[in-house]
Amino acid sequence: MSTGRAARGSHATGPPDALHRVRVASTRVALISTAIVAAVYLVIAMVVMLIVTSRETTEVDTQLTQALTNSLAGGTPQPDSSSGTPLWYWFVATDGSQIACDPQSQFEQCPIASLANQGLPASAESVGASPRTVSAASGDFRVIGTDITPITYDAQVGTDPATGLPIGEQFTLVRMIIGQSLSGVTSAEGNLILAEAIVGPILLLAVFLGALTIGRRVAAPIEEARVRQMEFTADASHELRTPLSVIEAQTSLALAEPRDAAWYRAAFQRVQGESGRIRRLVEDLLWLARFDTTRDRAPAEHVDLAILAEMAADRFTAVAEAKGVHLSVRTAPVPLVVHAPPEWLDRLLGVLLDNACKYVPEGGTVDVAVWADGNRVRLAVDDSGPGIPAAERSRIFDRFRRATDQPGGAGLGLAIANSVVSATGGRWTIGDSPLGGASLGVVWPRSLSGAHGSAGAAPEPLPPAAAPAAAAPAATPQPLTPPTIAPASTPPADGSARPSPATVAGPPRRDPTSDPQPAG
């Protein structure tokens, strides 16, 4: 039985190159993703910084406005703000001197401020009811000010060196400025920057590793599909080039010099054979292409697989007789219904029968069996051919894969069959046949089986395989008794009244004597 094409030299695009491309592409995608996330993170960090700074500053402004209102109303200023940062009061005299007071001093013995202590720059003396930020010697302050009724203030301006007594001076205070250090805001900003500096690299590392992992998982199947497509194209080109080379050689020889009729006949027969090979290859390629594009839209029906198997065997009767192969079909006397597009199942049966008949030697046997196994329907095609080596069974469904050098196929048949089985929810069973060759089987879920069996039911018995007659190795299939779907209809025991294909959702039955259509 054909198992695909013979192994040729590896393609220039092999798995190591594909793996390298996947790694490079996924790394590039991960770097781009990380760069984008880093840019977004930087923008978000800046926005968060602005929001935090604005909220902290607004809170300070609220405290300053409240303190100014209390002072003008004659209230007593609070010694500390809610944030723990003390409020400072500056009183500006008519001569420009500043008297700096801490509320804890109860406004007694407030010293004359200097730029080296808590003095404010001259530009801050004109600050109004709208808070603003000014820089003093000890840091930045948020200040607010207003004019006040002139008051006289006696302040100590020094000490008499001779007597050691304090020296006082009288000031007329005309303006009051209230301020609060922005050290708390600066501290909050510093903590936020530190947190962002710690979280940022960790986040970017996680994004890079995540993008790299996801990229490799996503890119690997895409790259594998691309490699398979390239290999498929290369294999198709190779399979087409071989028969075309034979045709070209034959025509060149025919045109080189006159030949006799027998030579021309032999040449035309070779050309005809290679043309048929090209036609079958192109038909298989077109079928696969149509299947790949319409597999999600093909209408599925309830199909009696037993009747389809009989019809397929009828088509291949002439092929079996021409090769001296005994072809038999056995079905269980119950409805063997599966839910699938009937043309797909017909194509699958054609592939399996074509392969079996092609690689079974003269005088061999091909047996097709369909039976119920609980809530499953089983199909098995056994033959007495060379079989499938165990080492090749995992690769027999690869396109253009063939383990034998026997001509006649391009290695697409089992690839088509595998596509059908996968799309219809089936499962392959591959092993050695009791006939001595290969056994290819498929198991499907059984439709309309609720009234006929259960999951634990024993398999329905099959009629025994008919041995080939000694005088006629190419005997036709034995009479069968296929069931109809309707449970009230029971076919005759002798099998004389076969059900019409119209009773199942299958393709129209063809004349058994018509030319079979091998599946490549």
- Residue ranges per structural domain of the chain: 78-182, 298-503
Helix (H) or strand (E) holding 127: none
| pLDDT for position 157 | 67
* CB 426 within 8 Å of CB 444: yes
* Two tokens, residue 160: 């008499």
CA-wise closest residue to 168 among 176, 157, 177: 157
Strand 87-93 with 438-445, pairing: unpaired
Phi, psi at residue 423, to the nearest 5°? -75, -20
The pair of structure tokens assigned to 163 is 């007597």
Residue 107: left if φ>0, alpha if ψ -120 to 50, beta else—which one? left
Hey, which residues does 87 pair with through a beta bridge?
A: 180
Q: Which top CATH class is 298-503? A: alpha beta
CA dist., res. 279 & res. 273, Å (int): 10
CA–CA separation, 235 and 7 (whole Å): 11
- Give residue 201's pLDDT: 93
SS3 state of residue 113 = coil
Which one, of 318, 336, 383, lies nearest residue 505 by Cα?
336
The pLDDT, as a whole number, for residue 37 is 94
Instruction: Tell me: pLDDT of 65 over 90.
Output: no
| DSSP letter (8 states) at residue 80 | B
Question: Tell me: the pLDDT tens digits for 308-336?
Answer: 999 999 999 988 998 899 999 999 888 89
Q: Tokens in use for 480?
A: 């069968």
Strands 166-181 and 139-159, by their bridges, are: antiparallel
Least reliable range by pLDDT among 141-145, 214-218, 505-509: 505-509
Has residue 497 got a pLDDT over 50? no
DSSP run (H or E) holding 480: none
Average pLDDT of 482-492? Answer: 32
Q: How confident is the model at residue 376 (pLDDT cuts 50, 70, 90)?
A: very high
Give the pLDDT of residue 108: 52
| pLDDT for residue 3 | 42
Mean predicted confidence (pLDDT) in 95-124: 61
Q: In the prediction, which pLDDT does 134 show?
A: 84
Q: Reply yes or no on whether the pLDDT at 39 is more than 60.
A: yes
